[in-house]
Structure 1
Amino acid sequence: MKAMILAAGLGTRMRPLTDHTPKPLLPAGGKPLIVWHIEKLAAAGFHEIVINTAHLGWQLPQALGDGAQWGVRLHFSDEQQEGALETAGGIVKALPLLGDAPFLVVNGDVWCDYPCLPRALSGNDLAHLVLVNNPEHNPHGDFALQQARVASEGAVRYTFSGIGYYHPALFADLPYGKRPLAPLLREAMQQQRVSGELFSGDWRDIGTPERLAELDALLQRG
């Protein structure tokens, strides 16, 4: 199974830190955020990792190389010319690198203890989403979870962690261009083709300088 790290965001909420550095290369605990992801994926058994780039994207392959130092092969999907295609659009562009089998996608700006192991999708499912308890900045959540099935509406809604397993067929009919992921997932949910789980461990959206500083302090303490 291949994995993809979403690293093409503009990092607007991280300014001024992202004025000259792409968000995935901002340091926490002595190493860039994206390196924590690469190390974790390598330890979980992923050998090929796709990284999409946009804002200051040339810095990522320059800093990370081909992945040999972590025992993986890195592939870069360059969105600098288009200017960040959003999640679904970025995945569509990267599909030739991801292949025909299900793959894992991880947001580059989250921190999570979730193991991110390779896993198969069940039956005719198009996606498997990892949900978490709602943080302060998203109190109403994103999706409901009912008997391991994810729905767009429900009495209790959880936050999408930014970690998901997807079948390429989910994106088969999506035209090339800037496209968000949520509408695509909701359509698949209506067809009962999205499974999910609730992860109750440590999860953080590292989207602001303050949250980055908190994570850095945590990692520095070990």
Structure 2
Amino acid sequence: MNAVAPACAQVPALLLAAGRGERMRPLTDTTPKPLLRVQGQPLLQWHLQALQAAGVDQVVINTAWLGEQISGHFSGVFGLQPLLNKRKQLSISYSHEGLDFGGALETAGGIARALPGLGPVFWLAAGDVFAPDFVFDSDAVRAFVASDHLAHLWLVPNPAHNLQGDFGLSASGLALNLPADDPAPRYTYSTIALLRAGLFAPPWCDIPAGNPDGIQAALAPLLRRAMDAGRVSASRYTGRWTDVGTPERLAELNR
């Protein structure tokens, strides 16, 4: 089992910021979705501030569409942002899928590509989700490391655009890959998770280490395989949460 030293309970984070944001056009024709502003600051900055406040000191951001804008903004300006705690270090590095392969590698492909810059356990969050109340809690890291789970997901109540939900949740805290005809409640995956690097190795994933060939692959099939083996846990998150997937949702947040 992988472990994290008690004195270093926090782990690195990967923020997913490679998508094209087709549903957000024309806003994303010239601005990558993670840089669209919510309540005065870029979407991605909300996650970065929360990670820094929780003691995370290493973040990897994957990019593709207009990725140079993301790395240029946060590498050149982020350390000067007035809302950051300058007494805490936050090292940001990049996995440039657009530069390396000409486009995004989807979720699992992008994670596999970024793994060399992460550790055996890491946080995952999508850069286009607004969840200002979420805490990247070191106690959650300790509990996850002490388990034999490959993933721990945070699930939210189903929004209007995903009323059927994604996964079930057992009384013992396991995420469930429910059959289509199962009437049990389903919840929506928030895109926030703790993951083990082992999820991206056989038998769960066939992508070679570091994804040198730029294979495109989705994350959900890997999670469902691991759920079927009882290796994915989950918690409900009831704080503010919005998948900022359309201009209308963005406008509503900014009202």
Bin of the TM-score, shorter chain as denominator length: over 0.9
Partner of 1:208 in structure 2?
246
Measure the CA separation in 2 of the matches of 1:208 and 1:116: 26
Residues 1-222 of structure 1: pairs in structure 2 closer than 5 A: 1-65=11-75, 68-69=79-80, 70=84, 71-81=89-99, 82=101, 83-99=103-119, 101-112=120-131, 113-118=133-138, 119-120=141-142, 121=144, 122-147=146-171, 148-153=173-178, 154=182, 155-173=184-202, 174-175=206-207, 176=211, 177-217=215-255
Larger Rg: 2
In structure 2, the gaps of 5 or more residues are 1-10
The structural deviation recorded for 1:135 is: 0.5
The structural deviation recorded for 1:29 is: 1.4
Structure with a larger share of its residues in strand? 1
What is the number of equivalent residue pairs in this alignment?
A: 216
Q: TM-score, structure 1 length as denominator?
A: 0.93
Measure the CA separation in 2 of the matches of 1:215 and 1:38: 19
Report percent identity of matched pairs.
Answer: 48
> Residue deviations 1:35-64, cap 9 Å, x none?
111111101111000100000111111111
Partner of 1:220 in structure 2?
none
The structural deviation recorded for 1:102 is: 0.7
Q: TM-score, structure 2 length as denominator?
A: 0.82
> Residue deviations 1:128-167, cap 9 Å, x none?
0000110000000000000200011051100000001000
Measure the CA separation in 2 of the matches of 1:33 and 1:20: 16
Amino acid at match of 2:240: D
Amino acid at match of 2:21: G
> Residue deviations 1:51-83, cap 9 Å, x none?
000001111111111754443000100010421
In structure 1, the gaps of 5 or more residues are 218-222
Measure the CA separation in 2 of the matches of 1:109 and 1:41: 15
Once superposed, what is the RMSD of the aligned Cα atoms? 1.3
